[in-house]
Structure 1
Amino acid sequence: MLHTTFAKAKEQEACIESYRKMAKSLGGVTKYGKDTPIPLDKILEVCGLQDTIWSLRCTIEPSKNTLIEFACQCAEHVLHFYEDKYPNDNRPRKAIEAARVCITDKSQDAARAARAAWEVAWDAAGAAWDAWEVAWDAARD
């Protein structure tokens, strides 16, 4: 999983409010450790999506598979907005599932799944654009 540290966040001049919120949730910087890895999913849980995306600038050398998994988790985090608006459109969910298959299965079937995922993802991208507006409106409420 992607992770950062308090030291890296401070080095990149993290927002004081979010830095303190994260520190409080982990029992303080001194207790937790300034160089102890903080998983980005924990940042997502405590500080929200915007701070998690910001945290990508100070992550510690992620692999391609780690980045794909993180993208899947971010997509899942907001997927319910889309599914509420378009309950019969399962393309985004299928794209997430196909991306995960590509991470775990290195066989020829995975290569075929990757090609199929590309097609589903392309269709889902158009649908996601529509969902962005729904999510934006929900975030402002």
Structure 2
Amino acid sequence: MKGNPVPEPRRTALATALFAALTLSAGCEVDIDPGAIPVPVSIAPIPSASAGQPKYVCTAIYKILTDGAVRLATDDRDRLRDAFTTMSTAVAAAGRVSTEPAQRDAATAISESLSRGAQSPDPVAYRDGEFATIGQRLDDTCV
């Protein structure tokens, strides 16, 4: 290996980091172009040619259930009912686009269960019981 053993991109990154650290420690202000900052990673499904395919639908439904679970950290029955209703509607919509009949059926069953949870006289019991395993109904359809 001739010359400097550090590859060019690393040398540039190191030099930039050192310059920024020295400049900031000297009390100078550094303007950074917003386009130079990488976009944050999102796990949200993005509409694409794969929309409707089993893995895409599973990702969408699991995301709905996971995001909805965050809203269930309450014992307020009205808030729980609202969360279950919202999830039921979203799961039904996501399931309808599936190209797999068994997956559509599983999504419908999940949506109906969430709807029953929303209408339950004790949505806390539904949250602590059936909701904990509701996503498993979809597992076998995610091929």
TM-score range (shorter-chain normalised) is 0.3 to 0.5
Name whichever structure is richer in helix by fraction.
1
User: Highest CA radius of gyration, 1 or 2?
Assistant: 2
TM-score (norm 1): 0.34
